[in-house]
Amino acid sequence: MKLIGIAIYLVILLVIGMVASRRMKDLRDYYAGDKRFGFWAASFSSRATGESAWLLIGLTGMGAAVGAQALWVVLGEVVGVAAAWIFLCGRFKRMTDRYDSITIPDYLESRLADKTQRIRLVAALTLVVFVTIYVSAQIDAIGTAFESFLGWNYYVGAVVGFSIVLCYIVSGGFVAVVWSDVFQACLMVLGLVALPVFGLMAVGGMDTAVERIHAQDPRLMSLWGPSGPGWSSFFTILGFLAIGLGFLGSPQIFVRFLSMRSEKEIRPGAIVAVIWTLLATLGAVLVGMVGRALLMTPDQSLEDGLGQGGQHVLPMLVDQSVPDWGIGLYIAIVLAAIMSTVDSLLVLASSAFVRDYYQKVRHPEMSDTELLGRSRWVTFGLAGDSLLIAFSVAALVPGRTVFWFAIFGWSGISATFCPTMILSLYWTKLTARGALAAMLAGFVSVPCFKFIAPQLPLVGDSFASLSELPPAFAVSMIVAIVVSLMDHRGQALLDHSHKPWDKEINHA
């Protein structure tokens, strides 16, 4: 019965890929869908892409591990998504239409009048590196999902699941990605809203669930978390809230804004995206908390009861509370969360290499149509690299959690691009040199704040609690402003190239 549900889900994805492949004519179709999507497709696709395996495996595990403190992630995500749609989407759509951009590096190069192609090169390099890491985290989650739900060998499950997603991406490109994201986003939000209800029915109601959590640790019902009030908890909460920063300019999100057919789609798209985010993230946290109440006893440790970081809570709760006919559906929902991000990121990384490096830098004479075949091969090659990284990490770091594995890749993309994207839309003095320095600073800062800063005396614990994204984001933003203000030659070039920029960008 479980395998029937999975099979139906995978067949639907393959059909989507086959139908979408018939619409692939050139690079504009493969990487931006020729800018013809409505608000339903854009909003559902952006949310499915922005969440990934960490929502179904990571955030549910966090809800089990830290309890009510994980609700700060919900707030951070809702605010981040709302800010991206309300304050950034309209300006970005106008500018990308003006420059006829089909990738984020296209836009940055035009907006900053960069003739050196350095921004394009750094952007392409960053995307290839961090997207590959992020995708490898999703592959890791695929193997974990098959292992947890079906008892399959981790490596076999990862290869089978990843092979399916690779088939429809390579054939259908961005159109297949968006269509499949809409289907998968619907599955994700319905599953996350329904599962806490099934869990509460199994545990005996809300009051019983709260009593059981109190018996394990009363601090799990506090917004301060298991550590109680203190500086460590404060920095942890800031880190949770800062996850929303990644929605303010990440290329995999903003390419959805770029692909909409007009600005009229923005307002309804924002409403749909915010409601989806609230329902899905709140549902994920409640899955973790209800699962802990049902599946753990007061004398059990988290690892013994629900696995490392609590990341087995969702499959275990499904097994205990969902009817047999629904278990296969929930396996499909977990795969949907994973694959909806894998497909988007692989197409994004492929566009960075093929469009932004191979065509624009090495072979500008090649047409978009000629490069379509190469795009498919590059997508396939990047997928192989991601698979290799995932298996290497699985072998070398057995105590990993999907949440923190994925967050590292998410932070790398966010710290490199988001400050530059925000400033490019709101600050006319941002120069190409300022943007380039900011992107390099964000790129380097993420591993520094992840691996080096937590080892520092006195402040190391604070950096560990805060996570790498907030300080790396701040460094990138400060570097962009300082270098741009010192770049007088760049300012003069911008004044010459974009005199009407202020009126155009602020036009309602």
Contact of 51 with 280, CB cutoff 8 Å: yes
At 355 the pLDDT is: 65
SS3 per residue for 115-147:
CCCHHHHHHHHHHHHHHHHHHHHHHHHHHHHHH
3-state helix, strand, coil in the chain (%, to 5): 85, 0, 15
Among the residues of 217-250, which ranges form H helices?
231-242
β partners of residue 37:
260
Contact of 189 with 279, CB cutoff 8 Å: yes
Angle in degrees, CA 209, 214, 219, rounded to 5: 125
Asked whether the whole model's pTM tops 0.75, one would answer yes
Contact of 109 with 117, CB cutoff 8 Å: yes
What is the C-alpha separation between 384 and 349, in angstroms, rounded? 13
Q: Which amino acid is at 144?
A: T
Contact of 467 with 403, CB cutoff 8 Å: no
| Residue for token pair 């509460």 | 200
Residue 98: other Cβ atoms inside 10 A: 14
The token pair at 487 is 């770049």
Q: For residue 284, how many C-alpha atoms fall within 13 Å in the half-sphere facing its CB?
A: 34
Q: Which amino acid is at 389?
A: I
Q: Which amino acid is at 278?
A: L
What is the C-alpha separation between 184 and 200, in angstroms, rounded? 25
Q: Which amino acid is at 175?
A: V
Distance of CA 289 to the CA centre of its chain: 23
At 508 the pLDDT is: 43
Residue 477: other Cβ atoms inside 10 A: 19
What is the C-alpha separation between 259 and 241, in angstroms, rounded? 28
DSSP string over 189-221: HHHHHHHHHHHHHHHTSHHHHHHHHHHH-GGGG
What is the C-alpha separation between 274 and 276, in angstroms, rounded? 5
Q: Kindly provide the b/e burial profile for residues 121-137, where b requires at least 16 CB atoms within 10 angstroms of the residue's own CB.
A: bbbbbbbbbbbbbbbbb
The residue among 389, 352, 178 whose CA lies nearest residue 251 is: 352
What is the C-alpha separation between 189 and 121, in angstroms, rounded? 37
Contact of 44 with 272, CB cutoff 8 Å: yes
Residue boundaries of the structural domains of the chain: 2-506
What is the C-alpha separation between 405 and 407, in angstroms, rounded? 6
Phi, psi of 37 (to 5 degrees): -95, 150
Q: Which amino acid is at 501?
A: W
Q: Which fold has domain 2-506?
A: Sodium/glucose cotransporter (1.20.1730)
Contact of 275 with 82, CB cutoff 8 Å: no
What is the C-alpha separation between 293 and 296, in angstroms, rounded? 6
Residue 414 DSSP code: H
The residue among 399, 223, 195 whose CA lies nearest residue 291 is: 195
Q: Mean pLDDT of successive 10-residue segments in the chain (508 residues)?
A: 71 70 57 71 86 80 94 96 95 89 84 85 80 77 77 82 68 66 85 93 93 94 91 91 90 86 92 96 96 92 84 88 80 74 69 66 64 66 78 71 67 91 93 94 92 89 87 96 92 67 50
DSSP string over 8-52: HHHHHHHHHHHHHHTT--SHHHHHHGGG-B-HHHHHHHHHHHHH-
